[in-house]
Amino acid sequence: MGHFIEVEAGVRVYVEDIGQGQPVLFVHPWPLNSNFFERQVGPLAANGFRFIGIDLRGYGKSDKPWHGYDFDTMARDIKAVIDFLRLDNVVLAGFSIGGPIAIRYLSLYGDTGISKLLLMAAAAPSYTQRKDFKYGKKRSEVDLLISQINQDRPRQLTLYAKMYFKQRKSAQFLAWFQSLGLEAGAHSMVHSMISLRNEDVRGELNSIRVPTAIFHGKKDRSCPFELAKELKNRIPRSVLIPFRSSGHGLNWDEPEKFNAELIRFLKSSKV
């Protein structure tokens, strides 16, 4: 079932809602949408879980306003979805940019109604290097990416698709992956990347109290594995699950392992 949910006056986001049981709310990576998780839907529904996939504002079928691509606003959109669907006992699952957005959600709204946190290839705690943080992208690298998006977005998405995965993918798969990115607004992609460049959730990690699993590819070229180790060290009650043969797109590089670890985490009473 699909829902269009108004998150603020004149702005609706699209939400896929499939299955029954405990809700697992997925926050997708830049610059894709909830279809990126299509291979997780079946295993979740078959194991008694409810897939909730949000297309963040600016992406997929959602509206694409000029404003609102900071982490605070996107976390507020998630809160509006949770409230509209009256979700409880939610597993909040953030992938890449969805990771720091999920962390910001907990920082702003607490963990009432949230039972677990799953961070997948998370662009956190800081996507970019800082004076006191040596991991992640250089600010100049992000600025170059923004420039390339503005100059030739289809070409940049083609290059991004080839970098995203460690395991070889068919031309048809890469074309599908690129098509997900082309559904995004060009301005949405740029404004979100600016947020990724500027935002920093390091100070919000030690307040996370829900059981947390960190899934991360050892060969991730977008968000280096060192980011996952930083998250593990800073988040109480967290466990790090490495994916040794995966790049950034670990749910497609090692799908069987990913789904098995996902179901194991969801069913576990403790991490």
Active site residues: 96, 220, 248
Cis amide linkage into residue 125, ω under 30° from 0: yes
* Residue partners of 23: CB distance under 8 A and separation at least 6: 49, 50, 52, 85, 87, 89, 90, 91
Q: Peptide bond before 31: cis, by omega within 30 degrees of 0?
A: yes
SS3 content of the chain, % helix, strand, coil (to 5): 45, 20, 35
Give the distance, in angstroms, between the CA of residue 242 and the centroid of all CA atoms in the same chain: 17
For residue 195, the tally of other CB atoms under 10 A from its CB is: 20
Do 124 and 29 meet the contact criterion of CB atoms below 8 Å apart?
Answer: no
